[in-house]
Amino acid sequence: MQNPPDSSAARLKIGFLLIDRFSNLCLSNALEPLRAANSFADAPVYSWAFYSLDGDAVRSSSGMAVLPNGKISDLTRVDRLYVIASYGHLTNDTPATRRALQQADRRCGAMFGLDAGAWLMASAGLLAGRRATVHWDLLDAFSERFLDVDVEQALWVEDGDVLTCAGASATLGLSRHLIARDVGAAVALDVDALFTPPVRSDALPSIRDPLLTRATRIMRENIEQPIDIHDLSTRLNTSPRTLTRRCQAVLGMTPGRLYRHIRLSVAKALVEGSTASIAEIAVRCGYEDPTALTRAFRQRFGAAPRAFRGETANKPSQ
């Protein structure tokens, strides 16, 4: 796994407690959107570290080994601790695991149980009197085992400083939700565009607003030759005033600002992930010349495009 960003520069510190036979997909769907959000945001938002119960390498359900940064008792303080468990949750439901989670609970701002992670949290008494969910295959057994938990059949449930998520697929939606809350809807849209194929946009919409979903799709289809807002409104069969009002209400920005945000996100991805010249990228992203692109780039990202050339640590790629 790649090195995480410098924790001193990040605003939110994340810990991942990996339980033996955890789900690769669950971890990826929790982590990769955060990495992408760091690249799209104006400054690093997230840093992360990996932990196991004993500090030794831990294996996923498919046999992939992860060497953690330390054992969970080494945890100092994180804003969020993800507890990721899957097929091995019963084997690892031991007194030692319960004690470790209880101690970790005092060192994290919030604890998130992904997949079967909720089972271990409940066994440690961390979900007593709380609303929670768990992987759908375990829902009935979970309800019967933990009578003090208000079990819900949901993709994820947040109750105060605990959050539980039903599985790997739900985790991707959860990550998008958290990024929108932590960084803003515009960066969440960038992450959506990276991880969600357009053909699935109806199944997992980027925005819970049909008008803006269509608007952002048209914007992304017209990066090299941007259209004006009046033309965009006509294509959407609405008025510029209605489009602006809806955009402000849902995303907190004007359509024009959203369009610039999308174009600059595409430009940054090209700067970091291609060998195209800055002049070529300017043309491909609808800027009249490299100077105009550089000016807009500095305004959003705090540096000229060339400062990002060759960076790979947080390059947004799948």
CATH for 281:
1.10.10.60
Same domain assignment for residues 36 and 121 = yes
Same domain assignment for residues 50 and 161 = yes
pLDDT-derived band at 3 (thresholds 50, 70, 90) equals very low
Same domain assignment for residues 28 and 106 = yes
What percent of the chain shows pLDDT beyond 70? 90
What pTM, to 2 d.p., does this model score?
0.73
Same domain assignment for residues 214 and 175 = no
Q: Are 160 and 130 in contact (CB under 8 A)?
A: yes
- Residue 58 belongs to a domain: yes
Please give the full DSSP string across 254-312, using - where no structure is assigned.
-HHHHHHHHHHHHHHHHHHH----HHHHHHHTT-SSHHHHHHHHHHHHSS-GGGGTT--
pLDDT at residue 285 greater than cutoff 80:
yes
What is the predicted pLDDT for the residue at 318?
38
- Find the helix or strand (DSSP H, E) in which 81 lies: strand 78-85
Please give the full DSSP string across 28-68, using - where no structure is assigned.
HHHHHHHHHHHHHSSS--EEEEEEESSSS-EEBTT--EE--
Give the chain's domain count: 2
| Range(s) of the domain holding residue 260 | 207-308
- pLDDT per position as a tens digit, 87-135: 889 999 999 999 999 999 999 999 999 999 999 999 999 999 999 999 9
- Residue 118 belongs to a domain: yes
- Find the helix or strand (DSSP H, E) in which 251 lies: helix 240-251
Same domain assignment for residues 31 and 134 = yes
Beta bridge pairs of residue 50: 16
pLDDT-derived band at 204 (thresholds 50, 70, 90) equals very low
pLDDT at residue 158 greater than cutoff 50:
yes
Q: Over the chain, what is the mean pLDDT?
A: 89
The SS3 call for residue 115 is strand
Comparing 34 with 200, the larger pLDDT belongs to 34
Structure tokens at 207: 């925005």
- Residue 186 belongs to a domain: no
